[in-house]
Amino acid sequence: MLLEGDLFPNFDLPDQDEKRLTPDSLKGKRTLVCFYPKDDTTGCTAEACGIRGAFPRFSGVTVFGVSPDSPASHRRFIAKYNLPFMLIADEEHFLAEACGVWIEKSMYGKKYMGIERTSFLLDENGKITKVWRKVKPVGHADEVLQALG
């Protein structure tokens, strides 16, 4: 798992419009990277809509959501909830693994691999300044706003 002070890992992944994003896409601005399990599910929708509601107060901060969903799924999710930020398609979970958020989970006694809801706040150089693990979807936007000062 990445820690505060670490550099965010290298990646080359598509956003919802299949535009390739790399760490250079993040340089020069503070960035919030939110890993979430799946588009259009209860918790993920609550988290995304919470960030959408607080988005005007995220002045100067670029926001990316990351999940294993496809660009097409991301486009539908953005359109359905009018999300004002980009979503990265990490279909092979390369970035999730590099960040240490692709973990073994359990539901109803069945084990499977999935994303641990985690957010990273990066400085202008891609260095991690804050990590939120096991994010609670409701209220996360307020936690981020507090960290932004």
Q: Which two tokens mark 99? A: 């960040």
Query: Residues 71-107: pLDDT tens digits?
Result: 999 999 999 999 999 999 999 999 999 999 999 999 8
Per-domain residue ranges for the chain? 13-148
pLDDT of 39: 98
pLDDT of 33: 98
Q: How far apart are the C-alpha atoms of 25 and 132, rounded to whole Å? A: 22
Second-level CATH architecture of 13-148: 3-Layer(aba) Sandwich (3.40)
Whether residue 26 contacts residue 121, with contact meaning beta carbons closer than 8 Å, is answered with: no
- Respond yes or no: is residue 44 known to be catalytic: yes
pLDDT of 149: 82
pTM score, two decimals? 0.95
Which of these is catalytic: 34, 44, 49, 99?
A: 44
Query: Residues 41-71: pLDDT tens digits?
Result: 999 999 999 999 999 999 889 999 999 999 9
Which whole number is the average pLDDT over 109-130?
96
